[in-house]
Amino acid sequence: MLIAIPRLLDAQALRAVRDLIDRAQWVDGNVTSGHQSALAKRNLQLPETAPEARQAGQMVLDALGQSPLFIAAALPLRIFPPLFNSYAGGQAFGTHVDNAVRIQAGTGFRVRSDLSMTVFLEEPEAYDGGELTIETHFGVQQVKLAAGDAVLYPSSSLHRVEPVTRGRRVASFFWLQSMIRDDAARQMLFDLDSSIQALAADLGHGDAQVIRLTGVYHNLLRRWSDA
């Protein structure tokens, strides 16, 4: 499942995030890499413990909590604190798969990485290259969205960031554990929820069939969820 989430950050939130991270001290991106990723990764990143990263990350988390599309698509249980990276001057991240479990440094907090998310923080016309390339069952998908937009995709997928040949690509990235471990089951629930919302808009939430389908949705969620 690959879901684009438009305008996750509005103009004001986007400005606030950029004001914070642009004045912070960036370091080599391999500070959070596993062995495989370290072989392919060339970028800069804000340290997890940087106060600017934590404050900006909380702004991203606040926006996620206010996004019905994100909640319906991800059904989140735990979210790794958002991180921030930057690519310029030919930097890239070669093809890789994200680690199955992410552990926050210095804490016992960990998430099973069911889904990965990228929030774009630079307008696409400001840089060349930098596409997030994801290999799916339906072929290769390239994603390069407007600043403030986000994309959600399975952490199990092969993916890469293409070389940035002009300008600077800035983004937030993180992983989350869903209440629904299986991607196919999560997709079915998302499709069912989307259909229920469309029917409710036409027939009203009190319609008998809308109520019946809502019950089916929650019973499936009850059967499949880890929560």
Segment 26-61, tens digit of pLDDT:
999 876 555 555 567 899 999 999 999 999 999 999
pTM of the model: 0.93
Q: Which CATH superfamily is domain 3-178 in?
A: q2cbj1_9rhob like domain (2.60.120.620)
Q: Going by CATH, does the domain composed of 183-224 fall within 4.10.860?
A: yes
Question: Dihedral angle at the C-alpha atoms of 75, 148, 89, 36, nearest 10 degrees?
Answer: 0
What is the pLDDT at residue 185? 97
Q: Is 10 annotated as a binding residue?
A: no
Q: Per-domain residue ranges for the chain?
A: 3-178, 183-224
Sorted by sequence, the CB contacts under 8 Å of residue 156 that are 6+ apart come out as 97, 98, 183
Better pLDDT: 93 or 30: 93
Q: Is 98 annotated as a binding residue?
A: yes
What is the pLDDT at residue 138? 85
Better pLDDT: 104 or 17: 17
The percentage of the chain sitting over the pLDDT mark of 70, rounded to a whole number, equals 96
- Per the CB < 8 A criterion, the answer to whether 73 and 3 are in contact is yes
The percentage of the chain sitting over the pLDDT mark of 90, rounded to a whole number, equals 90
Q: In whole angstroms, give the CA distance from residue 47 to residue 138.
A: 35
What is the pLDDT at residue 36? 53
Q: Is 128 annotated as a binding residue?
A: no
Q: Is 169 annotated as a binding residue?
A: yes
